[in-house]
Amino acid sequence: MEKTVNQKAWFLILPVLILVAFSAVIPLMTVVNYSVQDTFGNNQFFWAGLEWFEELLHSERLHDALGRQIIFSLIILAIEVPLGIFIALNMPKKGFWASLCLVLMSLPLLIPWNVVGTIWQIFGRVDIGLLGYTLDKLGIAYNYTQDSFAAWVTVIVMDVWHWTSLVALLAYAGLQSIPDAYYQAAKIDQASRWKVFRFIELPKMQGVLMIAILLRFMDSFMIYTEPFVVTGGGPGNSTTFLSIDLVKMALGQFDLGPAAAFSIMYYLVILLISYVFYTVMTNLDKRDGV
Amino acid sequence: MAHSGNKPRVNTSAIVMTLYLVFLLLPIYWLLNMSLKTNEEILSVFSIWPRNLTFANYATILTDASWYMGYVNSLIYVVMNTVISLLVALPAAYAFSRYSFMGDKHLFFWLLTNRMAPPAVFALPFFQLYSSVGLFDTHIAVALAHCLFNVPLAVWILEGFMRGVPKEIDETAYIDGYSFPRFFIKIFTPLIASGIGVAAFFCFMFSWVELLLSRTLTSVEAKPIAAAMTRTVSASGLDWGVLAAAGVLTIVPGALVIYFVRNYIAKGFALGRV
Q: Which domains does chain B have, with CATH numbers?
A: 61-269 (1.10.3720.10)
B2: number of Cβ within 10 Å = 7
Q: Is B119 exposed, middle or buried (0-12, 13-18, 19+ CB in 10 A)?
A: buried
Subunit contact A270:B117, Cβ cutoff 8 A: yes
Distance from CA of B119 to the nearest CA of A (A): 8
Sign of the CA dihedral B247, B39, A121, A226? positive
Identify the closest residue of chain A to B118 by CA–CA distance.
Answer: A222
Residue A267: its pLDDT value, please? 85
Question: A77 pLDDT exceeds 90?
Answer: yes
Subunit contact B109:A1, Cβ cutoff 8 A: no
Note the pLDDT tens digit of each residue in B148-190.
889 988 998 888 888 888 888 888 888 888 888 889 888 898 8
CA-only gyration radius of chain A, Å: 23
Of the pLDDT bands very low, low, confident and very high (cuts 50, 70, 90), residue B60 is confident
| Distance from chain centroid for Cα B35 | 24
Nearest to A281 by CA among A210, A215, A217, A218: A210
Identify the closest residue of chain B to A24 by CA–CA distance.
Answer: B148
Q: Which of A6, A93, A111 should one mutate to test binding to chain B, selecting the residue with the greatest count of B CBs within 10 A?
A: A111
Residue B195: its pLDDT value, please? 84
Of the pLDDT bands very low, low, confident and very high (cuts 50, 70, 90), residue A158 is very high
Question: A12 pLDDT exceeds 70?
Answer: yes
A7: number of Cβ within 10 Å = 10
Subunit contact A267:B88, Cβ cutoff 8 A: no
Subunit contact B211:A112, Cβ cutoff 8 A: yes
Residue A2: its pLDDT value, please? 64
Q: Which of A114, A120, A131, A169 should one mutate to test binding to chain B, selecting the residue with the greatest count of B CBs within 10 A?
A: A114
Sign of the CA dihedral A275, B154, B159, B271? positive
Distance from CA of A3 to the nearest CA of B (A): 5
Higher pLDDT pick, A116 / B272: A116
Subunit contact A250:B120, Cβ cutoff 8 A: yes
Question: A169 pLDDT exceeds 90?
Answer: no
Subunit contact B229:A19, Cβ cutoff 8 A: no
Subunit contact A112:B99, Cβ cutoff 8 A: no
Subunit contact A103:B262, Cβ cutoff 8 A: yes
In chain A, ranges of CATH 1.10.3720.10 domains: 65-289
Question: A64 pLDDT exceeds 60?
Answer: yes
Residue B102: its pLDDT value, please? 82
Residue B267: its pLDDT value, please? 64
Question: B65 pLDDT exceeds 90?
Answer: no
What value does the mean pLDDT take over residues A263-289?
79
- Cβ partners under 8 Å of residue B53, min gap 6: B36
Residue B3: its pLDDT value, please? 46
Q: Which of A110, A161, A175, A281 should one mutate to test binding to chain B, selecting the residue with the greatest count of B CBs within 10 A?
A: A110
**Which of A26, A99, A111 faces B250 most closely, judged by CB atoms?**
A111
Identify the closest residue of chain A to B171 by CA–CA distance.
Answer: A4
What value does the mean pLDDT take over residues B64-89?
90
Give the H or E element holding residue A39: strand A37-39
Residue A279: its pLDDT value, please? 82
Residue B91: its pLDDT value, please? 92
Candidates 1.10.287.130, 1.10.260.40, 3.40.50.2300, 1.10.3720.10; CATH matching A65-289:
1.10.3720.10
Nearest to B122 by CA among A247, A282, A87: A247
Note the pLDDT tens digit of each residue in A2-11.
677 877 788 8
Residue B1: its pLDDT value, please? 39
| Chain B residues close to A279, C-beta within 8 Å | none
Higher pLDDT pick, B231 / A84: A84
Residue B237: its pLDDT value, please? 59
Distance from CA of B130 to the nearest CA of A (A): 10
Subunit contact B27:A5, Cβ cutoff 8 A: no
- Return mean pLDDT, chain A: 83
Subunit contact B112:A278, Cβ cutoff 8 A: yes
Question: B211 pLDDT exceeds 60?
Answer: yes
Higher pLDDT pick, B29 / A234: B29
B150 near B83, Cβ under 8 Å?
A: no
- The lowest-confidence range among A225-229, B252-256, B257-261 is B257-261
Phi, psi of B100 (to 5 degrees): -110, 140
Residue A57: its pLDDT value, please? 78
- Cβ partners under 8 Å of residue B208, min gap 6: A110, A112, B74, B78, B253, B254
The torsion defined by the Cα of B55, B58, B63 and B68, in degrees rounded to 10, comes to: -170
Distance from CA of B65 to the nearest CA of A (A): 20
- In chain A, what is the straight-line distance between the N-terminal and C-terminal CA atoms, in Å? 10
Residues in chain B: 274
What value does the mean pLDDT take over residues A177-199?
87
- Return mean pLDDT, chain B: 82
B57 near B244, Cβ under 8 Å?
A: yes
| Chain A residues close to B98, C-beta within 8 Å | 3-4, 6, 9
Helix, strand, coil shares of chain B as percentages rounded to 5?
Answer: 80, 0, 20
Residue A157: its pLDDT value, please? 92
Residue A42: its pLDDT value, please? 59
Subunit contact A110:B104, Cβ cutoff 8 A: no
| Chain B residues close to A136, C-beta within 8 Å | none
Residue B4: its pLDDT value, please? 44
Of the pLDDT bands very low, low, confident and very high (cuts 50, 70, 90), residue B92 is very high
Note the pLDDT tens digit of each residue in A205-264.
887 888 888 888 888 888 888 888 888 777 778 888 888 888 887 777 777 778 888 888
Subunit contact B269:A177, Cβ cutoff 8 A: no
What value does the mean pLDDT take over residues B239-249?
85
Residue A265: its pLDDT value, please? 85
Percent with pLDDT over 90 in chain A: 10
What value does the mean pLDDT take over residues A41-51?
68
**Which of B23, B42, B120 faces A247 most closely, judged by CB atoms?**
B120
Nearest to B154 by CA among B117, B106, B199, B113: B199
Subunit contact B269:A103, Cβ cutoff 8 A: no
A113 near A227, Cβ under 8 Å?
A: no
* Cα A246 to Cα A255: distance, rounded to the nearest angstrom: 10
Distance from CA of A13 to the nearest CA of B (A): 4
**Which of B17, B94, B125 faces A12 most closely, judged by CB atoms?**
B94
Residues in chain A: 290
| Chain B residues close to A27, C-beta within 8 Å | 122, 125-126, 129
What value does the mean pLDDT take over residues A100-108?
87
Distance from CA of A272 to the nearest CA of B (A): 10
Question: B2 pLDDT exceeds 50?
Answer: no
